[in-house]
């Protein structure tokens, strides 16, 4: 059964070219919003908290501060409304899921930049 699901995903699910990013990286996601007949592009820039799932069901969570309030958004990797993903900064963290960022504010919430 698993082989059949994997075969269908490989054949019919579109793969998007996206940068290699992980938890701690700062990314900008450009996605389309449909309002009636109009379509516009909006972006969401923040720190990646986690990537989870695999293949067609993979998702990633981004967190940003908006007016002093933390806003998180979960994006499926294969979402057709995502136009592009820009990698702004590579962060240096030691965990795959950095939920401890939710409790930090100000200087404590900074993530060290990874040296290339």
What tens digit of pLDDT does each residue of 42-69 get?
Answer: 999 999 999 998 777 889 999 999 888 9
* pTM: predicted TM-score of the whole model, two decimal places: 0.82
The answer regarding whether domain 2-92 maps to CATH 3.40.30.10 reads: no
* Low-confidence residues in the chain, pLDDT < 50: none
Q: Are 26 and 45 in contact (CB under 8 A)?
A: yes
How far apart CA 23 and CA 97 sit, in angstroms, is 6
How far apart CA 25 and CA 27 sit, in angstroms, is 6
**By C-alpha distance, which of 14, 2, 6, 34 is closest to 76?**
14
């Amino acid at each position: 059964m698993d082989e059949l699901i994997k075969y269908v995903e490989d054949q019919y699910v579109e793969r998007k070219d996206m940068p290699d990013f992980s938890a701690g990286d700062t990314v900008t996601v450009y996605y389309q919003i449909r309002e009636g007949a109009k379509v516009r592009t909006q972006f969401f820039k923040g720190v990646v908290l986690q990537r989870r799932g695999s293949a067609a069901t993979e998702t990633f969570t981004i967190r940003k501060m908006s007016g002093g309030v933390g806003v998180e958004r979960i994006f499926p990797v294969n979402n057709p409304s995502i136009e592009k993903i820009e990698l702004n900064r590579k962060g240096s963290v030691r965990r795959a899921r950095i939920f401890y960022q939710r409790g930090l504010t100000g200087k404590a919430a900074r993530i060290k930049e990874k040296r290339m």
